[in-house]
Amino acid sequence: MSSTGASAYEATPEKCFSAPKKYSKSAGSATFRWTGTKTTTNCSDIHIRPKSMWVNVKVCFLKSDGSTINYCQTNFTTALADKRTTIATDVKDGTKYWLRFATIAASNGEIYQ
């Protein structure tokens, strides 16, 4: 599912997948958020690679000031353990977002943005 517009920069796979951001979501909450989560010019999509188990996840895009959710994807995407999965496509550079998981179980892995 797309966000608010296509990236003006044509990202390359080498650039996108060379610098993943680590995530570690504690048990007890379905939402994962951290300061400064926004897309970069490295990727035109958002990808996730959970490390130890599969997850169902969707992206919630924030208002431009980052204060609250603008909208969330309708459907969850299943991402298998240790496999990179695209969870949002054609995301505008600088878009702020959170991840929403289908369960409150702990999860960790990598995000490519």
The pLDDT-based confidence of 37 (bands split at 50, 70, 90) is confident
Tokens found for residue 88 = 């949002």
pTM for this predicted structure = 0.83
Tokens found for residue 95 = 């878009």
The answer to whether 103 and 14 are in contact (CB under 8 A) is no
The structural domains of the chain, ordered by start, are 13-112 (2.60.120)
The pLDDT-based confidence of 4 (bands split at 50, 70, 90) is very low
Q: For the chain, first and last CA: distance in Å?
A: 15
The answer to whether 111 and 24 are in contact (CB under 8 A) is no
* 104: DSSP letter: -
Q: Is the Cα dihedral 72, 78, 82, 88 positive or negative?
A: negative
**What confidence score (pLDDT) does residue 35 get?**
61
